[in-house]
Amino acid sequence: MARMARIATDNPARALTVGAVEPYFGGSHKQFLEDLAAHSRHRFEFFTQPARKWKWRMRGSALHFLGEVERLGACDLLLVSDFLNLAEFLGLARGRWPRGAPPPIAMFMHENQLTYPVRHEDERDYHYGFINIVGCLAADEVWFNSAFHRDEFLAAAPAFLKRMPDAVPKGLSEALALRARVLHLGAAAPAQDPPPRARQAPLRIGWNHRWEFDKNPEAFFAALFALHDGGVPFEAVVLGERYRDSPAVFEEARVRLGQRIAHWGFAPSRADYARLLASCDVTVSTAAHEFFGLSTVEACLHGCAVLLPNRLSYPELVPPERHARVLYRDDADLVERLRAYAAAPESARALGAELRADFARFAWPERIAAFDDAVAALAAR
């Protein structure tokens, strides 16, 4: 059964009812909907499935949610995930809507299967990319979590469609672009200032990303190994969700870094995660791909300095005046910047305070108006 939960707002007179459809209700997808509903002036009803077997969710969830058409049709707007085969769902639901037609539909693109990284390109199943394309065309609007993500998807779609042997439709790229808009995610900010680190404490370096190959953990740990082998003082906090086939470098790092590890593994609660993150002086990304960068936003809101590769969505998130201090050129540059911070941890702590102010614009109380206004405008159509 789909999970359905109603979350009321503090201003019912202005509230619309949003049906949130998420076939993969876990991780950042779950966090996004729960935080959005908690802060919104609108009412949210959740229609969800557990976060298991993502390919089966993309193929089978349309059939599953067909049983919820009556409830979905009573909503003012549907907010669906990119994991729903929306075109297939609407085709199956034809004639079943209680008002004769579905409510307006926005598709939120957390990621896409055209450009999501795979270890080897021959592993990519193009069918799932096609589900994303026709799903976007079936939606009234498509909300991307970053301009980088939107632009990358729109650039990849024409090349993908050219793989068709013939009868390549015209104007699809333009139709996709007309539906696309950018809505940056919000993030939870701590209620209080993070506690100050002891002046004599060694630099504490954090990792708060998924333990998967696309986050390029080999480059991160190579930098830490270089510091360790050079006798540079530091501590490591390694957070993030672990998977069955996580890269082998994590186990190697746990052995090699030994006593330098202040914390290892997934935090048991969001409160524990926030506390551990706030204890770091600097967090690092070495990602090979990032559609938004929620972990980076969270780190900055918790007072951490960050070191990020000068690519992907990161130049979009970081204010231009901070680029020189935050965006590194290559792996060697990352090592040197960490070495400099280890020699003067207070400089990382000072930058963290500046970034916390910069990234306050991503806290949910600041972001929610953009989402609420987008819901109201689309529902009015």
The reported pLDDT for the residue numbered 192 is 81
Cβ atoms of 111 and 82 within 8 Å: the answer is yes
Comparing CA positions, the residue from 262, 309, 304, 305 lying closest to residue 285 is: 309
Q: What is d(CA 192, CA 241) in angstroms, rounded to the nearest whole number?
A: 26
Q: What are the tens digits of pLDDT across the range 330-363?
A: 999 999 999 999 999 999 999 999 999 999 999 9
Domains of the chain with bracketed CATH:
6-185+364-380 (3.40.50.2000), 203-362 (3.40.50.2000)
**Tokens 């990621």 belong to which residue?**
111
Contacts of 247 (CB under 8 A, 6+ apart): 211, 212, 213, 217, 218
Residue 101 has what DSSP assignment? S
Enter the pTM of the model.
0.92
pLDDT-derived band at 164, boundaries 50, 70, 90: confident
pLDDT at 46 over 60: yes
Q: What is d(CA 28, CA 344) in angstroms, rounded to the nearest whole number?
A: 34
The reported pLDDT for the residue numbered 196 is 81
The reported pLDDT for the residue numbered 210 is 94
* SS3 (DSSP) at 331: helix
Torsion of CA 298, 31, 367, 318, to 10 degrees: 30
Q: What is d(CA 282, CA 365) in angstroms, rounded to the nearest whole number?
A: 25
pLDDT-derived band at 11, boundaries 50, 70, 90: very low
The reported pLDDT for the residue numbered 191 is 82
The reported pLDDT for the residue numbered 9 is 41
Q: What are the tens digits of pLDDT across the range 227-266?
A: 999 999 999 999 999 988 899 999 999 999 999 999 999 9
DSSP letters, 107-156, are EEES--TTTS--SSGGG--HHHHHHHHHHHHHSSEEEES-HHHHHHHHHH
The reported pLDDT for the residue numbered 12 is 41
Cβ atoms of 178 and 255 within 8 Å: the answer is no
Q: What are the tens digits of pLDDT across the range 173-196?
A: 899 999 999 999 999 999 888 788
pLDDT at 104 over 50: yes
Contacts of 201 (CB under 8 A, 6+ apart): 235, 345
Element (H, E) at 20: strand 17-25
Phi, psi dihedral angles at 191 (to 5 degrees): -70, -25
Distances in Å between the Cα of 295 and the Cα atoms of 27, 107, 273, 292 are 12, 22, 11, 9
Q: What is d(CA 335, CA 328) in angstroms, rounded to the nearest whole number?
A: 10
Q: What is d(CA 310, CA 287) in angstroms, rounded to the nearest whole number?
A: 11
pLDDT-derived band at 324, boundaries 50, 70, 90: very high
What's the mean pLDDT when you consider all of the chain?
Answer: 94
Comparing CA positions, the residue from 261, 263, 293, 280 lying closest to residue 349 is: 280
pLDDT-derived band at 200, boundaries 50, 70, 90: confident
